[in-house]
Structure 1
Amino acid sequence: KTTLAKTLAQTINCGFTRIQFTPDTLPSDVTGLSIYNMQTGTFEYVKGGIMNNIILADEVNRTSPKTQASLLEAMGEKQVTVDGVTYPLESPFMVIATQNPIDYMGTYNLPEAQLDRFMMKISIGYPQGGEEKQMAERFLNNQLGQTLEAVVERETIIKMQKEVEEVRVNADIISYVIKLVQETRKDNNLSLGASPRATLSLIRASQALAYLEGRDYCIPDDILKLLQPVIAHRLILSPEARMSQVMTEKILKNIISKIPVPVLTNL
């Protein structure tokens, strides 16, 4: 995971920080802190780990809820506030987080507000046979930690992000997304459905997918492809659903079957 995040940062010529979360990690380790300079008689801001482009929040659920909460403003507003002074974050900015299974000793469940800040949750899984062979060969040739050349500049990434925002989203697509999200709030298997932030994240992710596929407009298939990774981690199962081992994947499939897919005639 660290290699993946670091490689991403190198290939787009961006800065990278790995924050190892532990039970004694402090909020100031994330956001930074103000230190009094006796020579100048003023407080100086010392940057925290969050002040970079690509952030790997490793084992984020091992730290206290207070420290977890220090990520909220950064992920939601792209800024941090320390001692009443607000500092903008780098651009582009992205947080990649990993977590241990919740039954591990010394873990804290991420609060709903924190989970809602993450656009997607994905499972990397194990590498395929050929990929694992390549890893072994690179390990034997001491190539695992090599520095990679950037293939694109960060200014280009920022430009692409702005172009993604210009991808057209038909009114029928917006209505379809809203219906899907609202249906999660009615499902008896869920004690907490998806928030309005989920609606916005699903629309933006669909714009990005359309852009990567060379389209300047979204289609219903974009929504369906991304519904699971964008929505599932925001849902809280009811006690009855947990006892019955109902999976969020099954719930979302059931919701999809209820909502008619729009037929677009004017793209």
Structure 2
Amino acid sequence: MKEYKSDKESMCYLLMYLDRLGGLCHCISQGQKIVINKKSIKAAEIDSALQFVTSTDRDRDGVVCSDCLYKYLRTLGEVSEGFLTDAEREEMVASYVRDVSVRMAAELSGYSSNGFSDKKYEEHVRLYIKKLNQTRSQWAALTLKLREKNGDKTLTELVDHYRALYRLESVFLFQVLSLDDNPDESDSLGTLRFMVGISEKVIQLSDMIREKTHDLLEREAISEDIQKSLRKHSEKRKETEYKFSNLAKVLGEISAHSDS
């Protein structure tokens, strides 16, 4: 790293060196450890910041801005200890949770416009929730039908899992729309834990759906009509699982620093 060090104190290459052995982060142009709030920045913190920022800010085509990394380090990194008051930290957590969740809601509902705070966005998400509830009712009716006919237990459970999956998605979206209701009275940490819980349940349900589908196909215990219905919803389930998996990682990162 010495060969790249600049002779000018004002020179900045906008490059960092992550020392994996020493565990710290260095400024390449100045050949010094990067320090914020009198604390050395760890390489692992930069890794976490990169993962978090690239997951939450998707409008930069892969380019991560230094301001975004700095904001993460000052609010969620180890250097934030003693820098933010509890109220300031909670305000930042609320901001992160809202931004991440609103983007997630837009992706789930297929909302393509850039504005997330207008009436058009809210109406779009509410219409999507209505469609989810209609689909959930269809799965519930099929579950009841299978139980009345003493159908295959695994198949009945699989159908009910799909009903629960659509329910969780609609609950999540409704919670997102409620984030702006009485913001002064909202519990940001409680909302964060609720969102994490929903994400984890979606992932667990998706795993169970995968296992039960495999079992039923191997036993040839699914009728052609139900197979068509499952194929129709399988791709959406995979996309939903993927999105909630990413959400769980991001919110889990926020939660870990909020509880510390």
Using the size of structure 1 for normalisation, the TM-score is: 0.21
Using the size of structure 2 for normalisation, the TM-score is: 0.21
Structure of larger gyration radius: 2
Q: Report which of the two has the higher share of strand.
A: 1
